[in-house]
Structure 1
């Protein structure tokens, strides 16, 4: 398998188009045509991780965090980022980053936190806006089913656990073919009226190119009439954070102790305890202060995240408990998620979980 093949498999879990605009995801170092001898999965790509990849004969590192976040203007080894990139290049090792593409996946970072904590039936806390689009097109009635099938095959018409979703109307279309036209029906210079079906399907925004290609390939018209609009519908499959319910409610202290144990957290920083039972839990791996208002709006009893600043704890406002368990701690099980996913997708392939320590924060 090549780096490109592995990339396609990873994008099935976390399409790069789902990443935040500020992020740097995908293949950061290496040649996509290179044959992969082994994959090392890590949270961060540091020099010790590259050394581990060399020792395990893995020439592709799949990393959650991107080692290159902003542009590199030189490669002189003057900082840790440059040294990592130089060592990877020198040893012909490719580096692929997932980061916010996986954060926004319904089966990604936050789903894994919910699994570890026993949060059941989780759904996305902050759906990503503008990610659902609608295609409206027109076709001769006799071609409608063929065209819909092509659109469905390309990924259109998927809503939650349902597929092949569409809405159709029948009517009449007219056109006048000019002298340079090559019409499949009708005649040049004569107004043609055709009984047509209006086809409406929704799709996830990253599939637009594939869906239009399928439409043009399946349609008989020389000029295909279509329109695409962006919907404001909530996308239940893409977004930050998750919220769900505990099977059995717990006291606040009991639940925080549960979190500390399950997430291997050395310290739990939290806002004022409210003396209430914890049943509804919101989570967001990494820096999650921006989601405090969403957790409150969703009536969460507690919000588990990281990197909260002093004044942000005041935002709890006695509506919920905010708990900061550490950036590394919230994302550490992402490695296990990716190893399990890749092992199922490509069994009998060398996929290794990195044993290198990359947490830069130590506790006394």
Structure 2
């Protein structure tokens, strides 16, 4: 058995693929922590599957899922290691997950703001949604939605129901979480990027080194769009959630508002979107109370899906398919570059290099910590 310590051969292919798709140079290194955050030692006698689990947050439940599935790598959009660590102990719940994954030989990679800023990344995906058109409606007909709805039939909203925790009382509310991966259908009811518009980053990178890259996006429509139609597109594009917060100016009615421009930022958009004075709609995961108040006082509309609900659908609709193709290419290249030589020197590695299987999946247990309590009388 070899005494050489290193990461799993397949894990190297996954890291190479992520760095090609979403270069780490696009991340905001002034505060963010991206890249290979946990490089688990490879034990040929306890080899994991050639598989990757995609998640927004690396929670204990997701770590359990990766261990059960025997994945080689977890790609966690949010960095589980964010600030400097002085110790790694089982007392800290997040560190406990990292230690368990390392013991199983599972590595962790985080792309975070690199994925935000890249052309075709999360913010462009959100821009595609707001500029989409329901596929069930002809292009020349403006999609209409009721002011109190977010699109789709009520019976079509998938949600997980839990009874009221107070024993002996009849449940008054049901808890609805944002649709899980299992209920997403890759925006099947929305023709993405169908409405004529222009778009640009809010804070652009150097156009010569990274054309089209930058933080956030601003969409400007050629023709004004009704707010109702945009709500319908957003609801369809992110999987028809049961509801999400919206803030409008106090002297306006939702059905009377038209939108010419949209500022977009996945996750927490306060610092990036608040300075935008010339857009009609701020579309993000969350704004603070005072940021939202300031926006509606300026006559702007705010749509907030809850932080990670602006991010999770991208993993299923875009990243999974991209990685399946790119990791397969990188794994084949690595097997040709290093596999043949390693096979001749170390018998324990032969099985790992001979395995051409590649599989990318999205976590079924990852979800935003917030759900929405819905009164049963409204169902």
The alignment status of 1:313 with 2:292, answered yes or no, reads yes
Residue 248 to residue 83, structure 1, CA distance change in 2 (3 Å): farther
What residue in structure 2 maps to residue 278 of structure 1? Answer: 259
Report if aligned partners of 1:260, 1:268 keep a CA contact under 8 Å in 2: no
How far off is 1:344 after superposition?
2.4
The alignment status of 1:302 with 2:311, answered yes or no, reads no
What residue in structure 1 maps to residue 53 of structure 2? Answer: 40
Report if aligned partners of 1:116, 1:262 keep a CA contact under 8 Å in 2: yes
What residue in structure 2 maps to residue 335 of structure 1? Answer: 315
What residue in structure 2 maps to residue 267 of structure 1? Answer: 244
Q: Distance in 2 between matches of 1:292 and 1:65?
A: 20
| 1:119-167 C-alpha deviation (Å, 9 max, x unpaired) | 5455333234xx53xxxxxxxxxxxxxxxxxxxxxxxxxx6xxxxxxxx
Q: Distance in 1 between matches of 2:235 and 2:221?
A: 16
**TM-score, scaled to structure 2:** 0.62
- Match for residue 231 of structure 2 among 242, 256, 269: 256
Report if aligned partners of 2:55, 2:312 keep a CA contact under 8 Å in 1: no
| 1:187-220 C-alpha deviation (Å, 9 max, x unpaired) | xxxxxxxxxxxxxxxx52xxxxxxxxxxxxxxxx
The alignment status of 1:357 with 2:336, answered yes or no, reads no
Report if aligned partners of 2:62, 2:363 keep a CA contact under 8 Å in 1: yes
Residue 248 to residue 355, structure 1, CA distance change in 2 (3 Å): farther
Report if aligned partners of 2:10, 2:72 keep a CA contact under 8 Å in 1: no
What residue in structure 2 maps to residue 238 of structure 1? Answer: 213
Report if aligned partners of 2:199, 2:217 keep a CA contact under 8 Å in 1: yes
How far off is 1:326 after superposition?
1.1
Structure 2 counterpart SS, 1:61: strand
Q: Distance in 2 between matches of 1:122 and 1:268?
A: 26
Give the unaligned 5+ runs of structure 2: 1-8, 133-192, 329-356, 374-379
The alignment status of 1:28 with 2:9, answered yes or no, reads no
Matches within 5 A, 1:164-179: none
How far off is 1:240 after superposition?
1.2
What residue in structure 1 maps to residue 106 of structure 2? Answer: 93
Residue 354 to residue 345, structure 1, CA distance change in 2 (3 Å): same
Q: Distance in 2 between matches of 1:88 and 1:246?
A: 46
| 1:202-254 C-alpha deviation (Å, 9 max, x unpaired) | x52xxxxxxxxxxxxxxxxxxxxxxxxxxxxxx65221111225587432234
What residue in structure 1 maps to residue 16 of structure 2? Answer: 8
Structure 2 counterpart SS, 1:333: helix
Report if aligned partners of 1:46, 1:358 keep a CA contact under 8 Å in 2: no
**CA-atom RMSD, angstroms?**
2.7
Structure 1 counterpart SS, 2:201: strand
Report if aligned partners of 1:126, 1:294 keep a CA contact under 8 Å in 2: no
The alignment status of 1:322 with 2:302, answered yes or no, reads yes
Q: Distance in 2 between matches of 1:251 and 1:339?
A: 32
Q: Distance in 2 between matches of 1:237 and 1:321?
A: 26
| 1:86-105 C-alpha deviation (Å, 9 max, x unpaired) | 11111110000010111111
Give 1 or 2: higher strand fraction.
Answer: 1
Q: Distance in 2 between matches of 1:251 and 1:287?
A: 25
Report if aligned partners of 2:199, 2:220 keep a CA contact under 8 Å in 1: no
What residue in structure 2 maps to residue 73 of structure 1? Answer: 86
Q: Distance in 2 between matches of 1:10 and 1:122?
A: 28
Report if aligned partners of 1:103, 1:109 keep a CA contact under 8 Å in 2: yes
Report if aligned partners of 1:110, 1:283 keep a CA contact under 8 Å in 2: yes
Q: Distance in 1 between matches of 2:119 and 2:42?
A: 29
Residue 88 to residue 320, structure 1, CA distance change in 2 (3 Å): same
What residue in structure 1 maps to residue 71 of structure 2? Answer: 58
How far off is 1:80 after superposition?
1.9
Q: Distance in 2 between matches of 1:333 and 1:246?
A: 24
